[in-house]
Structure 1
Amino acid sequence: MTRQEFLASSGLDVRTLEWWLEQEWLIPEKTASGVRFGDIDIARARFIRELKDDIGANDEGIGVILHLVDQLHGMRQALAELRKGMRGSSD
């Protein structure tokens, strides 16, 4: 989705989106025609809003939380690949 579509779907204003992009809280796909946002970006924007509004996390805390969530996600992917490889080698 385009930047305008993302803004409409996420409910963010332009200033907030620019800040989040600058902080690399959101990292949309870069294409020849510009940036493209996906469903994962919408989910991440909702998560950031929950951290800010419901939990009361400050900007520094959000950066740390997002980094940890990204690491956890990466570890889960690596574990899934390891399991897949182990199943394949036992055949």
Structure 2
Amino acid sequence: MIISKVDFLIRTHLDQQTLEIWIQEEWLVPENADAEPVFSEEDLARANLIRDLQQDMGVNNEGVGVILNLLDQIHGLRRALSGKLQPPS
């Protein structure tokens, strides 16, 4: 499902400036449609995780970057392993 920037801001309770910073830090990497970023459900979940890390757990920006990088590595490894574990067609 594609989520517009306006809908994304509403659903995540983020302000425009915070979203721009998160995109600049590459914590969120939206797709661009007609020069306007569009977001996915995965982006929505990631934004909620970032907000929880910062607000609820007190993780600083550097820590958020490290955590997101590690999560991306884990998801990449899971995708790679699931592809190798499937029987040949």
What TM-score results when the alignment is normalised by the length of structure 1? Answer: 0.89
- Supply the AA of the counterpart residue of 2:66: V
RMSD across aligned positions (CA): 1.2
**Alignment coverage as a number of residue pairs:** 87
- Supply the AA of the counterpart residue of 2:88: G
Q: What is the alpha-carbon distance in structure 2 between the residues aligned to residue 5 and residue 15 of structure 1?
A: 15
Q: Equivalent pairs: percent with the same residue?
A: 45
Match 1:5 to one of 4, 7, 10: 7
Match 2:21 to one of 19, 29, 44: 19
Unaligned runs of 5+ in 2: none
Give the aligned partner of residue 40 of structure 2.
38
Give the aligned partner of residue 79 of structure 2.
77
- SS in structure 1 opposite 2:54? helix
Q: What is the alpha-carbon distance in structure 2 between the residues aligned to residue 17 and residue 45 of structure 1?
A: 9
- SS in structure 2 opposite 1:88? coil
Q: What is the alpha-carbon distance in structure 1 between the residues aligned to residue 82 and residue 75 of structure 2?
A: 11
What TM-score results when the alignment is normalised by the length of structure 2? Answer: 0.91
Structure 1 residue ranges (4+ consecutive) displaced by more than 3 angstroms after TM superposition = none
Unaligned runs of 5+ in 1: none
Q: What is the alpha-carbon distance in structure 1 between the residues aligned to residue 34 and residue 15 of structure 2?
A: 24
